[in-house]
C-alpha cells in the first residue's frame, strides 16, 4: 500500500520478489549513507539449508538499501533458517530479534479477504454481491462485486493517489482517518475502467471490504479477525490496531523519506496507520507471518474446502494485467507458483511467500520502506533468498 506524490497507479504488480506492492509512500530519492553494526544469526539451520548464502543475502541487501536492519526466515520440510542483519532502530545497537513486531502494510489485505470469505462460508454475503449493496455511491458501485474488489478488478480508483488525501496525510502522518473518509476521497471520481475488465491495485477495494465486514457483522473488524482467524490459528502476536499508532514491545523502529519534508530520513515508527484501515494497518511478527503464509496458501484451519478450491482457481485468472506467470488472485498474489503478498507503508517493508509444491515458506521484515532504484527491500530480499535456496 504505497503512497506517492504523483497520481500514478498505486501498487502495480511487481516482478521483483513475489509481486504485490504494499501499503506505503515510497520516495524515489536515494537514501543517505547510514552506518549499522554487523549482522547476527538468530537461528541455526539444518545442514540442508545454506546458512552462509542466506546470511549473505541479508548483509548484501543492507549494503544496497542502507536500511537499519532486517530479519528473514526460510522454512522447508528439511528445516529452518532465521537470520538478522543490522539493528532494530536507526542509530541503535540492538539487532532485530525473533519476537520483534512490525507493521505489515498490505499483507493486511490477505487477512481482510480471508475474513470476507468466512462470511461467504457462513452464507452471510455472496462474492457476487455488488458493493452498492453495502456501501452505496462508489464508482462502478452497481457492477463491481465483492469478488472483483477482492481480486483488484473493480475499477474503483485508489484513494491513496488522491491529491487532497495526500496533502492531509503528508502534512501530518499522525492524522486519524475514518474508513468512510478514505473512500469518500474517490466517491465522485470516474471509474478507472469497467468493472471486471482489468487489474488495478487499489487500496480502496480492501477498505470497502473491511466496511462490508463491519456492517454485516455489526462488530469491529479487530473482533471479527480475532474470533475467525487470529485465535483459531494461534496468531497471538498479530493484531489490528484500528486508529492507534502503538506497536507492541519489542518492535522494529521504522524509517522513511516520506511525509513533509519529503526526501529527508525520518522516524516513522509512530505514524498513524489508520489511513490503511483494512488495506494495511495490521501488525505481526516473524513466526506469526510464517504460520499465516502457510495458512494463506493451504486454506487450512480457516476456510471451507469448496472456497479453497475457488481461491486456487483464481490463480489462473486471465483478466487484463494478469499473466500465467504472475497475477493477483482472490486476496493474494501469485508468481511462478508462489503464493503471498508484500506489505509496505512508511517505515516498514515486509514480504510473505509460500510454495505449495515444495511446502517452502519465506518471510522478510525490514524496518525501512526506502527503495534502491526501482527495487523495494523486502521483495528484493525474498527473490534473492529464493535464488539461494534453488542453488543450494
3-state secondary structure 123-145: CCCCCCCEHHHCCCCCCCCCCCE
> What pTM did the predictor assign?
0.91
Q: How is the chain split into domains, by residue range?
A: 40-391
pLDDT tens digits for 143-158?
A: 999 999 999 999 999 9
pLDDT tens digits for 306-315?
A: 999 999 999 9
Q: How confident is the model at residue 48 (pLDDT cuts 50, 70, 90)?
A: low
- Given a cut of 70, is residue 36 above it in pLDDT? no
Give one DSSP letter per residue of 302-324, joined into a string: TS-HHHHHHHHHGGG--SBTB-S
Average pLDDT on 347-357 reads 98
Percent of the chain surpassing pLDDT 90: 86
- Residue 177 to residue 328: CA distance in whole angstroms: 27
Strands (E), the chain: 40-43, 69-76, 79-86, 101-103, 255-256, 266-267, 283-285, 326-328, 333-335, 338-345, 348-355, 360-366
- Residue 328 to residue 325: CA distance in whole angstroms: 11
pLDDT tens digits for 285-309?
A: 999 999 999 999 999 999 999 999 9
pLDDT value of position 28: 29
Taking a C-beta distance cutoff of 8 angstroms, is the pair 16, 378 a contact? Answer: no
Average pLDDT on 243-267 reads 96
CB-based burial, 227-237: b 16+ in 10 Å, e otherwise: ebbbeebebeb
- Given a cut of 60, is residue 385 above it in pLDDT? yes
Fold of the domain spanning 40-391: Beta-lactamase (3.40.710)
- Given a cut of 70, is residue 329 above it in pLDDT? yes
DSSP three-state, residue 203:
helix
- Given a cut of 90, is residue 129 above it in pLDDT? yes
Q: What is the mean pLDDT of the chain?
A: 90
- Given a cut of 80, is residue 35 above it in pLDDT? no
Amino acid at each position: 500500500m504505497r503512497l506517492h506524490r504523483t497520481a500514478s497507479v498505486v501498487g502495480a504488480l511487481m516482478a521483483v520478489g513475489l509481486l504485490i506492492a504494499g501499503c506505503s509512500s515510497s520516495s524515489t530519492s536515494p537514501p543517505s549513507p547510514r552506518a549499522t553494526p554487523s549482522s547476527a544469526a538468530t537461528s541455526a539451520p539444518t545442514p540442508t539449508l545454506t546458512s552462509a548464502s542466506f546470511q549473505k543475502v541479508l548483509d548484501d541487501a543492507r549494503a544496497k538499501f542502507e536500511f537499519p536492519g532486517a530479519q528473514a526466515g526460510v522454512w522447508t520440510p528439511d528445516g529452518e533458517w532465521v537470520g538478522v542483519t543490522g539493528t532494530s532502530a536507526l542509530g541503535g545497537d540492538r539487532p532485530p530479534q525473533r519476537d520483534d513486531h512490525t507493521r505489515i502494510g498490505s499483507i493486511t489485505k490477505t487477512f481482510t479477504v480471508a475474513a470476507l470469505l468466512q462470511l461467504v462460508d457462513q452464507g452471510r454475503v455472496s462474492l457476487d454481491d455488488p458493493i452498492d449493496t453495502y456501501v452505496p455511491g462508489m464508482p462502478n458501485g452497481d457492477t463491481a462485486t465483492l469478488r472483483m474488489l477482492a481480486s483488484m478488478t473493480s475499477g474503483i480508483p485508489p484513494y491513496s493517489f488522491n491529491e487532497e488525501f495526500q496533502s492531509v496525510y503528508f502534512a501530518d502522518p499522525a492524522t486519524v482517518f475514518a474508513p468512510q473518509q478514505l473512500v469518500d476521497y474517490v466517491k465522485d471520481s470516474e471509474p478507472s475502467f469497467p468493472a471486471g475488465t482489468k487489474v488495478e491495485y487499489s487500496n480502496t477495494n480492501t477498505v470497502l471490504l473491511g466496511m462490508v465486514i463491519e456492517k454485516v457483522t455489526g462488530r469491529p473488524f479487530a473482533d471479527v479477525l480475532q474470533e475467525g482467524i487470529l485465535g483459531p490459528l494461534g496468531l497471538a502476536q498479530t493484531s489490528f490496531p484500528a486508529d492507534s499508532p502503538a506497536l507492541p514491545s519489542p518492535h522494529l523502529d521504522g524509517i522513511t523519506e516520506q511525509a513533509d519534508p519529503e526526501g529527508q530520513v525520518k522516524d516513522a515508527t509512530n505514524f498513524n496507520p489508520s489511513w490503511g484501515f483494512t488495506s494495511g494497518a495490521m501488525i505481526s511478527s516473524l513466526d506469526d507471518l510464517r504460520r499465516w503464509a502457510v495458512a494463506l496458501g493451504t486454506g487450512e484451519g480457516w476456510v471451507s474446502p469448496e472456497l479453497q478450491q475457488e481461491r486456487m482457481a483464481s490463480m489462473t485468472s486471465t483478466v487484463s494485467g494478469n499473466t500465467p506467470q504472475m497475477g493477483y488472485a482472490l486476496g493474494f498474489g501469485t508468481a511462478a507458483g508462489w503464493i503471498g503478498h508484500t506489505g509496505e507503508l512508511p517505515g516498514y517493508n515486509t514480504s510473505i511467500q509460500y510454495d505449495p509444491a515444495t511446502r517452502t515458506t519465506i518471510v522478510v521484515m525490514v524496518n525501512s520502506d526506502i527503495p534502491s532504484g526501482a527495487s523495494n527491500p523486502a521483495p528484493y530480499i525474498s527473490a534473492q533468498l529464493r535464488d539461494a535456496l534453488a542453488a543450494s
